[in-house]
Structure formats: C-alpha cells, structure tokens
Structure 1
C-alpha cells in the first residue's frame, strides 16, 4: 500500500491533512504485520570488547551465549578470543612473588628513602643492616 492509497482511505474517514504528512508518518513508523517482532539491536562495540577481553569465569549466564554468537559469526574474532581469554586469566590469577619479592620491595623502599642523598656505599650498608 502506498502513501497515496492510505491518504485516500483516511480522507474518506475525515482526515484533512496533506499527502506529505502521511508519507512522513509511514517513513517514521512503517506498518508491521501481526505477530512481527523486530530483531533485537546489535551489541555495542563496548559490550563485545568486554565479552572477549574479560576473564571467562566473570561472564554472566546471559553474556556467555552472546559471546558464543559473536565468535560464531566472525572467524577473526574467534581466532583472537582464545589467546585473549588466556591472557585475561593469567592477569587475574593470584600469584605471589614469595620471599624474593619481599626483599626486592624492601630494597626499593630504601632506594626511594635515600634518593638524592646517598651513594652506593650507604645504600649497601642499609640493605645489609636492614
């Protein structure tokens, strides 16, 4: 049905507007068939980036199928998703440096405290005595 046909029909029912009014209304709100449901909007770039770069265990049950759908539609992102997920997992894993880390932190603290005032011999003495 064209805008002109629709205008003729509603003019018979008392509409006194111009044909351009009908045309603009049809362009803005196109007629839909019964039972028609529009497709959901595509995910934003930010959402997809979050699905691909976050630790896999932190995805919600709603996000997991969305991530899978994106990976199924785009082979390039599917090939990049595995290394990205493993990298995210590596960054979020709790790792402690152990006793060596504590010694390094103590030396760095002494270096900061003595910065600009002391030379290596005083720093060496502080490290050995601390």
Structure 2
C-alpha cells in the first residue's frame, strides 16, 4: 500500500529499496526530542549575581549575560552589587557616598533600602569599608557567651557560666 502511494506520487525506487528503508527505520530506537533546559532558578541567579565572576563557569557566564540582557533592572542591580563587593574586598570605602547616590538613583527596592540604611551612620560604614581593623573576633566571642548564657538560663549560677566560658 505504501509502495503504491509513493509510486502514484512519482517515486521511482524499487520495492526492495522501500523494504530495506522500512526495516532500518523500524529497528532504530526512537529518538525522543530533548526538552529545552529548565530556566535558571531565582536561587541560581542570585548566586551568579553575588559570587565572584571568576568562580562562574563559562555556561553560567553565558546564562547570566542572557538574563541581564533581558532585564535591564537586573543588569543595574548586578552593576551595583559588583561595585559594592569591590569596595568590600579592596577596602575602598571612600567610594561609598558615590555608590549610595547611584543606588538611590537606581530606585531598586532592595538595594535602595540598603543604601538608605547605610546613610544612617555613613562615617562608621565608610571606616568599616576602609580600615583593616575589625571587631569581628570580639563580636564572635560576645555571641558565643550569649549563647552559653541562654543555654544555662535559670539552671546555674555565675560560677558555672564562668567555667563554661573559660573551658570552651
């Protein structure tokens, strides 16, 4: 039947050629089309925006570039995030007022609120981004003591708290 229909449509091949083709096609595994790759999740994109560019793979760079090309607001946010990260890593707090002005001008909800909050104590934040000294160790010790105190709340007196802090 297929041979007759093909012959009516002008095919000049022989019956054995059609038979060979059909045998070959029927014994080939079915090729299912590959589904398109799933779009990047919000968590993935956030990671790409906040990580060092050198830690991204080439594929991640390309996906991020496509996303930033599609969304100009996200491209502005990426620029502001990178600039702030550079201030943190290179200790260039002197650039903070210009960054805050740029962030306020961008009018992006999360970043604008963050920038507005930095203006509350601009000198301290600029010093934190400029000076190499840090109170991180002291803050860590205080938090550890508070945790121990909360664990012992109402169960022991000051002597036990003192021993636990000194032994920890």
**TM-score band, normalised by shorter chain:** 0.3 to 0.5
Q: Which has the higher helix share?
A: 2
RCO higher in structure (CA 8 A, sep ≥6):
1
TM score, norm. by length of structure 1: 0.41
